[in-house]
Amino acid sequence: MLTSESETRGAQRPREDGDILTAHDVHAGYGGFDILQGITLAVPRHQITCIVGPNGSGKSTAFKAIYGLIKIRLGTVDFEGQNITGQRPQDLLKLGIAMLPQLSTVFPGLTVEENLALGMYVVRDKRRIKARIDEIFDLFPRLRERRRQHASTLSGGERRALEIGRTLMLDPRLVLLDEPSVGLSPNLVSEVFAQLVELKEETGISVLMVEQNAKSALSISDLGYVIQRGRVSHTGSGAELLGDPEVRHSFLGGMD
């Protein structure tokens, strides 16, 4: 069900029990100026949801507002039915929401295993950490092969897999990814997105990502939101949005 701006103003998609996270009428911005002018969106459980849109439309701002990195002036964010508006990232992590920032967070001089262990620095039990690293290696077998290599020797795709793996160390139920394809060549983008689909299928984790690479992101997303000028302009499954002439024309550049 694809909805266009005129139909979607207000609640873009009815709240459903299967939603792990919802944002309702969120207004937020910088220096007293609202970039987000009432964003309403829902992230269904066990699915991949993406936010796409033209440069400067407010995608990263929406991401920051949801993850407590900027103040929400008006509106609410709920996680599993609990109001989390304005909660800090460290508290959200405890609740089961992890975030992967846009810039690389890998420590090049540390091994793959050491990098993963850092994702569980709050845990002291070494056996638990080792067991979790093993589970992450089951999800990303290539990281297991490279477990004792320094992260500096990994390919771009492996490095991103390591970052995603580290984000999963505390076994979050929802992971927020800020432009997971940034800085990757087209082949590696496909590789990383294929890994995300596998991850969802194998673990049932819920994913919310913000992406500039709209075509690739929509092609693997169960649900997509187009943000334009701080509002949700279109909502639909990834396939629906990719096929929508208005979306293609207005911001996908009439892509093939």
Ligand X SMILES: Nc1ncnc2c1ncn2[C@@H]1O[C@H](COP(=O)(O)OP(=O)(O)OP(=O)(O)O)[C@@H](O)[C@H]1O
Please report whether residue 59 would count as binding ligand X according to CB under 6 A: yes
59 or 160: CB nearest ligand X: 59
Query: Total number of residues binding ligand X (CB under 6 A)?
Result: 11
213, 189 contact by CB (below 8 A) = yes
Residue 82 binds to ligand X (criterion: CB under 6 A): no
Q: How far is the CB of 102 from ligand X (least distance, A)?
A: 8
End-to-end CA distance of the chain: 22
12 binds ligand X (CB under 6 A): no
Does position 58 interact with ligand X (CB under 6 A)? The reply is: yes
Confirm or reject binding of residue 35 to ligand X (CB under 6 A). Answer: yes
Indicate whether 99 belongs to the interface with ligand X (CB under 6 A): no
Rule CB under 6 A: choose which of 57, 167, 213, 233 binds ligand X: 57
Is residue 102 packed enough to be buried (19+ CB in 10 Å), middle (13-18) or exposed (0-12)? middle
3-class secondary structure, 231: strand
Q: Applying CB under 6 A, which part among 55-63, 124-132, 144-152, 191-199 lies near ligand X?
A: 55-63
Question: 28: which residues sit within 8 A by CB, 6+ positions away?
Answer: 34, 35, 36, 61, 64, 65, 70, 71, 72, 73, 75
Q: Least distance (Å) from ligand X to the CB of residue 230? A: 7
d(CA 208, CA 53): 15
Q: Residue with structure tokens 């004792």?
A: 148
- Regarding 238 and contact with ligand X (CB under 6 A), the answer is no
Q: Does 213 bind ligand X (CB under 6 A)?
A: no
Closer residue to ligand X (CB): 59 or 146: 59
Structure tokens at 181: 């394809």
Q: Are strands 72-79 and 82-83 parallel, antiparallel or unpaired?
A: antiparallel
154 near ligand X, judged by CB under 6 A: no
By CB under 6 A, name the binding residues for ligand X. Answer: 30, 35, 53, 55-61, 212
